[in-house]
Amino acid sequence: MKALHLRPRGAATKVWLFDDAALTLFARGLRLRLRVADGRSELTLKVADQDCARLDPAVVASGEGKCEHDVHGARMEAAVSLVRRLDGRSTDDLLAGRLSPAQALSPAQVGYLRDVVGYWPLASDLRALGPTELETYRAAGKPYDVDISELPAGARYVEISRKVPVADIAHARASLEADLTRAGVEMCADQSAQAVNKLRALLR
């Protein structure tokens, strides 16, 4: 934080992930995530290994979803994200188990799972894993965000990222790595996505 002169970007966010003890959703390339911050709550369904170029626009309603490429190290994969905003009561009911994850999904999310992924209904034993405390920081004049996630047991993950057009990925990554080198910040040797490690830690 000192090396990059980071400053908080908004309030901290509490994050819950939903899966069962066998991580069935993750094994199918699915992530179900609830984010709560500043009185706002969003339930996101993320589907890995999708083809953005061939995606039918009708299955991703305007304002509800997007298709983008995630890059971690040398690996790039396309993923679809569909978002539903929840009110306070629905959020409380979902976390308390009075509302199941399947009941909390939007019609667009259900339709994508059923018609595109071919996985519906969801397993009945999904549980809320978390909360993880997520704080996002920004360095003055820099185009990237720094996310610091702290799991309930205290483990912390740091991810530095930025959003660019696919054609600019190589240049953006080289620029970011050069910035970190000049600041004396060393990158972890393992640049793969850490989602499964977080899920396993949350299950424990």
Q: Tokens 């709550």 sit at which residue?
A: 41
State residue 61's pLDDT score: 64
State residue 62's pLDDT score: 61
State residue 126's pLDDT score: 97
Length in residues, the chain: 204
| CB neighbours of residue 33 within 10 Å | 19
State residue 54's pLDDT score: 87
Successive 10-residue mean pLDDT values, the chain, 204 residues: 93 97 96 95 96 82 82 90 96 96 95 94 94 95 95 95 94 94 93 92 94
Secondary structure string (H, E, C) spanning 134-157? EEEEEECCCCCEEEEEECCCCCEE
What's the token pair of residue 48?
A: 């890995």
Inter-CA distances, 85 with 42, 48, 59, Å: 4, 21, 18
State residue 57's pLDDT score: 78
Q: What are phi and psi of 5, to 5 degrees?
A: 55, 55
pTM of the model: 0.93
State residue 39's pLDDT score: 86
Q: 197: which strand partners?
A: none
